[in-house]
Amino acid sequence: MECSRVEMLKKIQCSNFAAYDMLLYLDTHSDDKKAFRMFQALVKKTKELKCEYEEKFGPLNQFSTAMQDKFNWLDNPWPWEKEDNK
Give the model's confidence band at 82: pLDDT under 50 very low, under 70 low, under 90 confident, else very high: low
Burial class for 20, CB neighbours closer than 10 Å (0-12, 13-18, 19+): middle
pLDDT of residue 73: 67
* Total tally of structural domains belonging to the chain: 1
Q: Give tens-digit pLDDT for 38-60.
A: 999 999 999 999 999 988 888 88
SS3 75: coil
Question: Roughly what angle, to the nearest 10 degrees, separates helices 33-57 and 5-28?
Answer: 160
Q: Note the pLDDT tens digit of each residue in 18-39.
A: 999 999 999 999 999 999 999 9
Question: 23 is in which domain, residue-wise?
Answer: 5-85
For 8-21, give the secondary structure using H, E and C. Answer: HHHHHHHHHHHHHH
